[in-house]
Amino acid sequence: MLSHERVWAAIDTLAERYSLSPSGLAKKAGLDSTAFNKSKRLSVDGRPRWPSTESLAKIIEATNSSLDEFIGFVEGRTAALSVSVASARQTSGVPLLGFAQAGAGGFFDDAGFPVGQGWDLIELPGQATENSYALQVQGDSMLPLYRNGDVLVVEPAAPIRKGDRVVVKTLDGEVMAKVLERQNAAGVDLVSLNPEHPDRHIPIARMEWIARIVWASQ
Amino acid sequence: MLSHERVWAAIDTLAERYSLSPSGLAKKAGLDSTAFNKSKRLSVDGRPRWPSTESLAKIIEATNSSLDEFIGFVEGRTAALSVSVASARQTSGVPLLGFAQAGAGGFFDDAGFPVGQGWDLIELPGQATENSYALQVQGDSMLPLYRNGDVLVVEPAAPIRKGDRVVVKTLDGEVMAKVLERQNAAGVDLVSLNPEHPDRHIPIARMEWIARIVWASQ
DNA sequence: CCATCAACAGGAAAAAATACCTTTTTGGTA
DNA sequence: TACCAAAAAGGTATTTTTTCCTGTTGATGG
């Protein structure tokens, strides 16, 4: 979100990234050196003072930064630090840890909530991709992998390869979720994880589209 | 890049995306209805007039859009889409469809991207919950459900019940993901979906914590 | 220890954006 | 075609941000 605090934090982060003080950043951008004084971020009457859009454009250009980088600072997902859980909470992602690391001490409190340092960060679906959508499983045909009611997040723009879990739609309207075993000019071979359902071969001529499943609810 | 022209174009695109005129968008955001008049985009002396950063924050919030979406408009890489799918994008969720419905016509374009009417909406994880975190699977012990490298999103605050997929950590540091078969005062019974690994009973005295898995990457 | 300079606090003036206002234009509907 | 409401042109007053300015503080080098 675009908030007063976030915008000022992004200005500070941009300055830090390019080894400048806020005052030095302002000068480099052709602004008054006191433009980004912390004492000027609130008005006399306590009202938040926003840097102008034109000022933001100037500092991005002056540092040869990019709008995407600056927005990364605004959103808190771009930082040069090893994140603590608290830092991770300030971003749109969630803290990530390997299972092996999870077994060690120092990553969880007594109730099982994540704490401390050393976490990586991961973006969850539906935030950065504009084409993803969700399909809800109906029936038991995809057990044991997917149960009735599970939600699958599908990313049609994602490249697919052997081993991926995919959704395939045939020209006669059948929609199925299976594992991609092979894809070539003739069609695709799909592996079912339910022994009661056979593996499938779908010729290209019968396939309307195929898309990768990126997340599944549990 | 952040330029005068691009910012105004983004405002126009945002208005179009949400079926508003620039004047309607300004009003919806609590600004003067004439704030985004094209006649006000240049000053009388020909100097470019920039909408303020605070105004941009207000229109993004008023439309339940996102900073990323707006920046997509600024950079010209995001255009107005079909209203229904676009309506779904108005929220922090993604469009949702049942598998049975997916078989019918009218929900996908030829390339498999979601279009048209009739979509539901679902919230994805990690946005509204402050305690969720992710664990990354290492090794093959959780096949066929979870593969090496998969990411599991865990919600320690979520209530758990029979049939849920959970992560359990024991006092001696073991971390495992299995299906909850039974939970009582003595401990928990866990079902493994890998026949090469036995089902487990974990006494309460040996269990540090248990948490529900809400999403898994595929 | 002292001089120098960058950074910053904070007030006042100038510049820029928004709110307020009147009028005209445009588009939808009966 | 008439009517109506929304949109927009465009002017003025008010509010907000930036520039200009003075003074203080802290870091650094001699």
- Each residue of A73-85: pLDDT tens digit? 888 766 544 456 6
Question: What pLDDT does residue A99 have?
Answer: 57
Mean pLDDT of A182-202: 84
Statement: residue A98 has pLDDT above 60? no
Q: Quick one: pLDDT at residue B126? A: 46
| A53 with B57: Cβ contact below 8 A | no
Q: What is the predicted pLDDT for the residue at B212?
A: 84
My answer on whether omega of the bond before B125 falls inside 30° of 0, hence cis, is: no
pLDDT at B192: 83
Widest Cα–Cα separation across chain A: 73
- Between CA B134 and CA A107 the distance in angstroms is 12
Phi, psi values for residue B207, rounded to 5°: -100, 125
Distance from the Cα of B127 to chain A's closest Cα (Å) equals 7
Shortest CA distance from A88: residue in chain B:
B133
Distance from CA of A93 to the nearest CA of B (A): 7
Q: Is-contact A70 A14, C-beta < 8 A?
A: yes
Top mean pLDDT of A25-34, A178-187, B128-137 is at A25-34
Whether A218 sits inside 8 A of B217 (CB atoms) is: no
Q: Tell me the mean pLDDT in the region A46-73.
A: 87
Dist CA B3 CA A66 (whole Å): 12
**Domains and their CATH numbers in chain A:** 4-75 (1.10.260.40), 85-122 (no CATH), 133-216 (2.10.109.10)
Instruction: Decide if B175 and A85 are in contact by the 8 Å CB cutoff.
Output: no
Q: Which two three-digit tokens encode residue B46?
A: 């020909």
Whole-number pLDDT of residue B217:
78
What's the pLDDT score for residue B186? 86
Given this model, what pLDDT does residue B11 score?
Answer: 93
B47-B49-B55 Cα angle (round to 5): 170
Selected residue with higher pLDDT from B81 and A7: A7
ipTM: 0.52
- B37 nearest nt, CA–C1': D8
Do A34 and A23 form a contact (C-beta atoms < 8 A)? yes
Q: Which neighbouring-strand residues pair with B108?
A: B114
B203's tokens: 């006494």
Separation between Cα atoms, residue A174 and residue B73, nearest integer Å: 36
Which of A85, A137, A218 comes nearest B215 by C-beta? A218
Q: What is the mean pLDDT of residues A27-52?
A: 90
How does pLDDT run across A117-155, given as a tens digit for each residue? 666 656 665 444 556 777 777 667 777 778 776 777 777
Instruction: Please give the Cα distance from B114 to B92 (Å, whole number).
Output: 17
Q: Which of residues 83-122 of B touch A (CB under 8 A)?
A: 85, 88-89, 92-100, 102-105, 108, 110-114, 119, 122
**pLDDT < 70 stretches in chain B:** 77-131, 138-139, 149
Instruction: Report which residue type is found at A137.
Output: V
Residue B205 dihedral angles phi and psi, to the nearest 5°: -65, -20
> What's the pLDDT at B209?
81
The separation, in Å, between residue B23 CA and nucleotide C14 C1' comes to: 30
Q: How far apart are CA B165 and CA B137, in angstroms?
A: 14
